[in-house]
Amino acid sequence: MKAGYITEEHELLRDSLKKFLNKEAYPFYNTWEEQGEIPRSFWKKLGAQGYLCPWLDEKYGGVGADFGYSVVINEEMEKVGTGLIGVGLHNDIVVPYLEAYGTEEQKEKWLPKCTTGEYITAIAMTEPGAGSDLASIRTTASKESGHYIVNGEKTFITNGIHADLIIVVCKTDPQSSPAYKGISLIVIERGTKGFTRGRKLNKIGLNSQDTSELIFEEAEVPAGNLLGKEGEGFYYLMNQLQQERLIVGIGAIAACERMLELTVGYVKERKAFGRTIASFQNTQFKLAELHTEIEIGRTFLDRTIESHMRGEDVVKEVSMSKWWTTDLVKKVAMECMHLHGGYGYMEEYEIARRFRDAPVTAIYAGSNEIMKTIIAKKMDLG
């Protein structure tokens, strides 16, 4: 069933993006996984074809595309591999902050380069000692004669190695009570004095994604790199996390659909006891169940996307779809790997990589427990 928000133009985009990825991504993806990153040249190619932030206004290099375009781009990237999550993070999570809260001067300086692939972006919230409990971050930014002096450490940062612009979540007022009122967003640029990158992290999945540590030691950032107002950072994060979590749900359902497709193909070919694996009732029931659950997830997700596109507050629905679809992707990965038998455990089969990539979706962008606390609050449970 095609979603209501998908028009002929979206399908045209999908066709041309698929052709592009068939040439520029699929043949190289396994090498990128081995190398532990996607080359910057791929970002430039994405930019040249208009696949980076097409939703931006024309004056910044976009075409004013609606969120349906973002959905298509995220789905097609996910079909190549979850390691391309950094593209969606740049397009639909980080750059939207610059667009929403940047001054005209900041936007003119940064946004056009975000559409060409010249600038890759990241957002740095998590620290070694604070992930879910964001208000307890310890990175500080103190104002001194036209600069912020930033000190602290961030970890698990997607696009951390490639990033040219990083939105760093800092405490500009560490004494503030409640703590979240002292949080501000500061854009730190590549080459800033006192800013270094730590380790590129060795993960069990998303291997082509450059996830890293970032270190700020007396980093000198121009005061003009403050995003929005001092002390408003936490509110900005809460506003933007709706779309971030929606993007994770979109990737999760696309991954489920891909794994189901792979597995249906496999069980129809593979034989045991003189018949196909597909002909066993257990296989049929398992795949029928997964197909049903994926369709349910897709339907709810599409409904939530439509509401988001109408500008409605869907914090509760997004939280529901984020936890449910990412729990589902873990289940689908496990069941589909199992139906591949021993081959499912071998790296040359795509299902093995999908099995490694799936679990993190339930952890990042707010863990699934945090999603449930949001839903419980919306239910007025205290």
Measured from the CB atom, is 68 or 131 closer to ligand FAD?
131
Taking the CB of residue 254, how many other CB atoms lie within 10 A of it? 22
Measured from the CB atom, is 70 or 209 closer to ligand FAD?
209
Tell me if 319 sits within 8 A of 245, measured CB to CB: yes
116 in contact with ligand FAD (CB under 6 A): no
By CB under 6 A, what part of segment 124-183 binds ligand FAD?
A: 124-126, 131-132, 156-158
Query: Which residues lie across from 154 on neighbouring strands?
Result: 214
Q: Which stretch binds ligand FAD (CB under 6 A): 26-34, 56-64, 212-220, 366-374?
A: 366-374
Annotate each residue in 178-217 with x if it binds ligand FAD (CB under 6 A) or - if it does not, as one string: -------------------------x--x----x------
Torsion angles phi and psi, residue 170, rounded to 5 = -125, 160
Measured from the CB atom, is 18 or 197 closer to ligand FAD?
197
Taking the CB of residue 311, how many other CB atoms lie within 10 A of it? 7
Nearest to 73 by CA among 273, 247, 214, 223: 247
| Calpha distance 124→186 (Å, rounded) | 10
Instruction: Please provide the size of the chain in residues.
Output: 382
Q: Which stretch binds ligand FAD (CB under 6 A): 3-11, 231-239, 297-305, 358-366?
A: 358-366
- To ligand FAD, the closest distance from the beta carbon of 86 in angstroms equals 8
- To ligand FAD, the closest distance from the beta carbon of 169 in angstroms equals 7
Q: Radius of gyration over alpha carbons of the chain, in Å?
A: 21
CA distances from residue 213 to 2, 85, 157, 291, 323 in whole angstroms, order as listed: 40, 17, 6, 38, 26
List the one residue from 147, 194, 367, 375 that touches ligand FAD (CB under 6 A).
367
Q: What's the half-sphere exposure (Cβ side, CA atoms, 13 Å) at 178?
A: 6
- To ligand FAD, the closest distance from the beta carbon of 163 in angstroms equals 9
> Tokens standing for 248?
């994770």
Catalytic residue flag (residue 293): no
Burial environment of residue 59 by CB neighbours within 10 A (0 to 12, 13 to 18, 19 or more)? exposed
| Calpha distance 203→210 (Å, rounded) | 10
- The count of residues interacting with ligand FAD (CB under 6 A) is 20
123 in contact with ligand FAD (CB under 6 A): yes
Measured from the CB atom, is 126 or 192 closer to ligand FAD?
126
- To ligand FAD, the closest distance from the beta carbon of 332 in angstroms equals 19
Catalytic residue (one of 75, 76, 244, 293): 244
**What's the one-letter identity of residue 136?**
S
- To ligand FAD, the closest distance from the beta carbon of 34 in angstroms equals 18
- To ligand FAD, the closest distance from the beta carbon of 94 in angstroms equals 9
Q: Which residues are catalytic?
A: 244
Binding stretches for ligand FAD (CB under 6 A):
122-126, 131-132, 156-158, 203, 206, 211, 360, 363-364, 366-367, 369, 373
